A and B are shown apart, each in its own frame.
Chain A
Amino acid sequence: GQQVQQSPASLVLQEGENAELQCNFSTSLNSMQWFYQRPGGSLVSLFYNPSGTKHSGRLTSTTVIKERRSSLHISSSQTTDSGTYLCALGGSGGSNAKLTFGKGTKLSVKS
């Protein structure tokens, strides 16, 4: 089956520092999505990025299909960025957007 590995498992930053989160996958993909999971558990969609680079404010997502990896860059981190970042691989096709989630990177930003 599909394997999705996220690294690092956890990360502690001082406010203002940058972060680079990695997602590696073992099979070909049809889609790659990044989510932010709030401490309470709810999910926020950050990027739908099957290939290339996308920007949203201080966030940048880059997916390189040939290298089977996707990254999420957070610049000038803020305490409100704290939470868990999940990547999800969609590769099975069909009528179901079945995603395989990574275990996440838990980010803690200190003031």
Chain B
Amino acid sequence: AQTIHQWPVAEIKAVGSPLSLGCTIKGKSSPNLYWYWQATGGTLQQLFYSITVGQVESVVQLNLSASRPKDDQFILSTEKLLLSHSGFYLCAWSWTGTNERLFFGHGTKLSVL
């Protein structure tokens, strides 16, 4: 069975500080990986996706970046947090292919003060 683990569970960070969120998938080789973001009370938006190691596509520009250093790992980061980065970040995976079913991690709640 596939499992998806996100870390940390929650973060409280200062404006201007760096951020790194991580996601690991076990039990599935070469998955498609995704980062989603949800502002408090807002709609889920896709930020990035990756279909293979070292390749990441940006969907929405939010002054964030993503990397896929290993087949089973997806990292979301920024060097300088903004207040608008607050919200809930979700990592997801799908089987390779188009419009496949998405499975989400438990998410990271980020508060930028």
Contact = CB atoms under 8 A, between A and B. Distances in A.
Interface of A: 30-31, 33, 35, 40-45, 48, 50, 86, 88, 90-91, 93-99, 101-104
A96 B56 CA distance: 11
Contacts of A103: 43
B102 A97 contact: yes
Contact of B99 (A31, A42, A102): A31
B5 interface: no
Contacts of A96: 32, 49, 51, 57, 59, 98
Interface in B96-113: 97-107, 109
Interface of A is mostly: loop
B65 interface: no
- In which size bucket is the chain B interface? 20 to 34
A104 B43 CA distance: 8
Interface of B: 32, 34, 38, 43-46, 49, 51, 57, 59, 88, 90, 92, 94, 97-107, 109
Interface of B is mostly: strand
Contacts of B34: 97
A64 to B, nearest CB: 18
A45 B103 contact: yes
Contact of A45 (B46, B101, B106): B101
